[in-house]
Amino acid sequence: MVKAAHCLWNDETNSPYAPKKFAVALGKIYRAWDDVGDPGAHKSDVKSIAVPARFRGGKTNYQEDISLVILSTPVKYSPFIQPVCIDFSRELESVQLDTSLGKVAGWGLTSEDGPPSQVLKTKELLHVDLRRCMQDLPANFISMVTGDKICADAIKGTTICRGDSGGGVAFPTLDGRGIQRYYLRGVVSTAPASEHLCNVKSHILLTRVSDHEIFITQKYP
């Protein structure tokens, strides 16, 4: 499972937290871990966590903010649990970013100072040209636009808020049989802070998945 590294990172030890501190639930709709409305959820302990060797959180401006979470139990697909495609083709990626909207799901804050959502919600993201992004971002945040970042905006008056961080952003395309498939293109990394819990007026930085092909395709225990 692909996540943002900062969600699993211990700044004091400069390493990921121990896997035993986490558990994963797939196929959930409701925030509560044991909600009766999620009878088909798959729950698993975490076997191991892999993070790029150069990642050091805010000390390195969240460069390489990506991780792999290896589950202890195998996952069975169902109508509520489906895989997302990964393709490292920059040509396909470019087409998707320029012609479609990405989707991300989460239980983040419902407004700039609102409570966390109790139901899983999806938000649509629009890719933003990097030059425009850097012009719009606060000067003290520009250093966070590391070489492996994609810039995006949420649409329809919403944005990525606290609690959505670390989620995967997938963009759709039609395959040769006319079937729409989603490809993982980014992982929610960071955004400028504001006086509110959630900065609803700023661009969002995503870690570009295609920049981390070697890391993702390595064999992990």
pLDDT digit string, tens, across residues 3-29: 999 999 999 999 999 999 999 999 999
Residue percentage of the chain with pLDDT more than 90: 80
Confidence of residue 41 (pLDDT cuts 50, 70, 90): very high
Considering only residues 147 and 194, tell me which one the structure prediction assigns the higher pLDDT.
147
Residue percentage of the chain with pLDDT more than 70: 98
* Closest to 163 measured CA to CA, from 117, 101, 201: 117
Please state, in angstroms and rounded to a whole number, the distance separating the CA atoms of residues 59 and 166. 18
Above 90 in pLDDT, residue 197? no
pLDDT digit string, tens, across residues 161-175: 888 889 999 999 988
Above 70 in pLDDT, residue 157? no
CATH of the domain at 69: 2.40.10.10
* Closest to 4 measured CA to CA, from 218, 160, 117, 116: 160
Residue 26: DSSP 8-state:
E
The mean predicted confidence, pLDDT, of the chain is 92
69 within 8 A of 57, measured Cβ to Cβ: no
Above 70 in pLDDT, residue 48? yes
Domain that holds residue 8: 2-217
pLDDT digit string, tens, across residues 61-101: 999 999 999 999 999 999 999 999 999 999 999 999 999 99
Above 80 in pLDDT, residue 220? no
57 within 8 A of 6, measured Cβ to Cβ: yes
pLDDT at residue 132, rounded to an integer: 94
Instruction: Name the token pair of 25.
Output: 């639930």
Confidence of residue 198 (pLDDT cuts 50, 70, 90): confident
Mean pLDDT, to the nearest integer, of 123-127? 93
Burial code (b: 16+ CB inside 10 Å, e: under 16) for 49-67 equals: bbbbeebbbeeebbbbbbb
Total count of domains within the chain: 1
